Structure 1
Amino acid sequence: MITKKLLLASAALALLGGWSLTHAAGQGSMAPPAPAPRLGASIDDVVPVAASPALPALDPVVKAKADSLFDDAGDVGETRALLVLRDGKPIYERYGAGFGPDTKLISWSMAKSITAVLTGFLVADGQLSLDGPVPVPAWQRSGDPRGAITLRDMLHMSSGLEHVEEGDPVWRGDTVDMLFGKGAQDMAAFAEGKPAIAKPGEVFNYSSATSVILADILTDALTPSSNPDARRDAMLDFIHGRLTEPLGMTSLTPEFDAHGTMVGGSIMHATARDYAKFGEFLRNHGVANGQRLLPETWMRFMLTPSPNDGGYGGHIWLNRARPAGVGAALWPDRGPNDLFACIGHQGQYIIVSPSQRITMVRLGITKDKQFPALRRHLADLTAAL
């Protein structure tokens, strides 16, 4: 949703050219090379899925609006995958050339909502407190204002920390510096080292660095070890046992930095079908296969408008009005107000409309100037459904 041109260029090299995250940032440096971040399984390491079953006949108007997301690429950018479920069953599924049901695609900031669900598991387990000060050692010195920050503040993007999601030029923002620059080896330490510039809960400030801090807090709750491999394995085991296995999201591949911290704000990979399973889990308010995995109270928290931005809940976007002068995230003037979405850079969407019994996944490459048209197309499609 924001401009990250340098980030994208670096990420493309990292993913397609075999570069590590730190290598992409370290060109020209005379410092000795540090260990590369441990990435997840190969992007291509997915068992091919069975042939898609025949889909039910779709209303011609709905089909035309869905097809337009592929056919009107000049307006909305490249759509690589579009999957629509009604009552949990696919009614439309189409992929761009070179992509298919077994292709893993990057989440970008959709990862934030997955991190929020993982946080909910540990709060439900009693290992973390939503309203207690977060256990970040660097903030525990007497008089440090950061010591008052709570998980609620962080999930509402209101920590008060000096995080700059997008700089001018873009590489001066925290996100690029954290992912590919001086913060790449230990992203959480970079993010946690920022000073407070506002009181916790006072100002909305969308920040990928905040989500990395959350991932660090989760990992510390899972293991006392500072060993990168142990930290990574503890998080992977937790995700497998609490999310990917119960939901069947077998393709989900989170990425980690060199310190073993999950890049919880921006870099996960999964197939469109597995992103849809996550959306269905949210649509069913934390229930999967008839089993409640996430408390209803946590789902209510995630889907309640935050105090400083009504269009944002607990690390998820809501179809509600945002403050005056702030850009639109969804389409509150057109769709139901119970609609919500996980949204990622360049137009990654998991859209959930509970009152319509609909979950939709759109993955692709959309430029900043194309976003108004993409939102109109997605709003048109949801309205037709």
Structure 2
Amino acid sequence: MHKIKVAFIPSLMLALSACGATGEPEAAPQKTAAELAYISDETPIPKSRLDAAIAPLFDDPAMAETRALLVMYRGRVIAERYGEGYDEDTRFISWSMAKSFTGALIGFLVADGRLVLDDPAPVPAWQRPGDPRGDITLRHLLHMSSGLDHTEGPEEDGKTVFEADTNRMLFMDGAQDTAAYAEARPMEAKPGEKFEYSSATSIILADIITRTLTESTDPLVRRDVTLRFIRGRLLEPLGMDGTYPEFDQNGTFLGGSFVHATARDYATFGEFLRHNGAKKGAQHLPVSWVRFMKKSSPNDPAYGGHIWLNNQRPEGRNTVLFPDNGPDTIFAALGHLGQQIVVSPEQQLTVVRLGKTQDDVLAPMRAQIGKIMALFPIRG
């Protein structure tokens, strides 16, 4: 299957081409076979129809900048399109899609019997007598319900960009040891009492992974041991050769924000979860763990175990997928600026979108992904 690269088409040109001399809209010209070559001949959807749903992601200014779009159906890539300057070898930043990687990695250690979901989280700083953080479990962390005082973005609690915990942890005074910053925060609620989405929570889980694997405090040892684990249990078995996790100066995997991977590797990860932790018939991650990840947490029906779900959210919280336009079994790894791995098991479908769309104008892009997915049949 061939791939094409597309450049941004100015909105003025689109407007001019849409009107004839009489001012009446003209039908869009049919695209050539070469222009539709990024869609496989194996697509169950007519190429022109599928292209009509994909093209706005690249051509419509309301969608901002899409850099890659990949559609897998029944395990095969049936559409793969890139923006100018990007291709199948480009590694794209995950932003918060990394959280779902972290959720899966925790599952390997639970399956190995090295961590227990409902035991107190093994964080040394929380083990002092009387410390309320000692009641936080892995389940609380995976459900974003730890009760820790973590402010994700500057729009929350009236904080400035320099005061939000995520920015401070990743780029300012907490950057050298992100886990120490995240784990030092005080409680603002009882564990399990409230939902608060937090990159710092995922950093704590990443630190727990490393502490479970090694007692060393040497940053290089911490990094190398964790990297071997990630590669040996996840990346190599899945053939994700273009994926690179990032670490801080203390050797902690930046598991809330920083995985770099190709569009194809992100799709492979989505397919891995679609198959409930299996790859080519080999069960790597227990089915029970993937089911846990895809089950609604008590405080937000649209959030599971470090993965988003296609359910309505409580009043006052932003819609993240399209609960009114697709099966409720859809789940997704989502990231800042519109990074998405969206998976629909009932449609045997995985869609990856990578690009740069500001979070406050995500709705048109998100809706367009829903329109692409709605073209595909739902198994009875």
Tell me the TM-score normalized by structure 2: 0.86
Greater mean deviation of Cα atoms: 368-377 or 182-191: 368-377
Match of 1:98 in 2: 85
Q: Given residue 157 of structure 1, which amino acid in structure 2 is its aligned partner?
A: M
- 1:169 to partner: Cα distance: 2.0
Q: Does 1:119 align with 2:106?
A: yes
Q: Does 1:164 align with 2:151?
A: yes
1:325 pairs with one of 310, 316, 325 = 316
Q: Percent identity?
A: 57
1:56 pairs with one of 42, 48, 60 = 42
Q: What is the 5 A alignment of 1:190-201? A: 190-201=181-192
Q: Distance in 1 between matches of 2:359 and 2:230?
A: 32
Q: What is the 5 A alignment of 1:5-16? A: none
Q: Distance in 1 between matches of 2:161 and 2:374?
A: 35
Match of 1:135 in 2: 122
Q: Distance in 2 between matches of 1:246 and 1:323?
A: 38
Q: Distance in 2 between matches of 1:222 and 1:338?
A: 33
Aligned to 2:341, what secondary structure does the other structure show? Answer: strand
Q: What is the 5 A alignment of 1:257-336? A: 257-336=248-327
Q: Distance in 1 between matches of 2:162 and 2:229?
A: 33
Q: Distance in 2 between matches of 1:161 and 1:150?
A: 12
1:9-55 alpha-carbon deviations (Å, 9 max, x no partner): xxxxxxxxxxxxxxxxxxxxxxxxxxxxxxxxxxxxxxxxxxx9955
Q: Given residue 145 of structure 1, which amino acid in structure 2 is its aligned partner?
A: P
1:171-195 alpha-carbon deviations (Å, 9 max, x no partner): 2100000001110000000000000
Tell me the TM-score normalized by structure 1: 0.85
Contact 2:145/2:192 (CA < 8 Å) preserved in 1?
Answer: yes
Contact 1:115/1:211 (CA < 8 Å) preserved in 2?
Answer: yes
Change (3 A) 1:281 1:153: same
Match of 1:43 in 2: none
Q: Which runs of 5+ in 1 are unaligned?
A: 1-51
Match of 1:205 in 2: 196
Q: Distance in 2 between matches of 1:255 and 1:287?
A: 25
Q: What is the 5 A alignment of 1:19-58? A: 55-56=41-42, 58=45
Contact 1:322/1:328 (CA < 8 Å) preserved in 2?
Answer: yes
Q: Distance in 2 between matches of 1:300 and 1:361?
A: 21
Contact 2:338/2:359 (CA < 8 Å) preserved in 1?
Answer: no
Q: Distance in 2 between matches of 1:169 and 1:382?
A: 37
Aligned to 1:95, what secondary structure does the other structure show? Answer: strand
Q: Does 1:373 align with 2:364?
A: yes
Contact 1:83/1:94 (CA < 8 Å) preserved in 2?
Answer: yes
Q: Distance in 2 between matches of 1:284 and 1:132?
A: 28
Q: Does 1:65 align with 2:56?
A: no
Larger RCO (CA under 8 A, 6+ residues apart): 1
- 1:342 to partner: Cα distance: 0.2
Q: Distance in 2 between matches of 1:54 and 1:307?
A: 41
Superposition CA RMSD, Å? 1.2
1:107-155 alpha-carbon deviations (Å, 9 max, x no partner): 0000000000000000000000100001100000111100000000000
How many residues were matched structurally?
A: 333
Q: Distance in 2 between matches of 1:155 and 1:375?
A: 24
Q: Distance in 2 between matches of 1:279 and 1:209?
A: 23
Q: Which runs of 5+ in 2 are unaligned?
A: 1-37
Contact 2:40/2:77 (CA < 8 Å) preserved in 1?
Answer: no
Q: Distance in 2 between matches of 1:70 and 1:53?
A: 15
Aligned to 1:351, what secondary structure does the other structure show? Answer: strand
- 1:365 to partner: Cα distance: 0.2
1:189-235 alpha-carbon deviations (Å, 9 max, x no partner): 00000001111000000000000000000000011111000000001
Contact 1:55/1:90 (CA < 8 Å) preserved in 2?
Answer: no
1:383 pairs with one of 362, 374, 378 = 374
Match of 1:254 in 2: 245
1:252-272 alpha-carbon deviations (Å, 9 max, x no partner): 111111100000000110000
1:109 pairs with one of 49, 73, 96 = 96
Q: Distance in 1 between matches of 2:361 and 2:208?
A: 36
Q: Does 1:221 align with 2:185?
A: no
Q: Distance in 1 between matches of 2:41 and 2:262?
A: 19
Contact 1:55/1:92 (CA < 8 Å) preserved in 2?
Answer: no
Q: Given residue 79 of structure 2, which amino acid in structure 1 is its aligned partner?
A: Y
Q: Distance in 2 between matches of 1:197 and 1:84?
A: 42
Which has the greater radius of gyration? Answer: 2
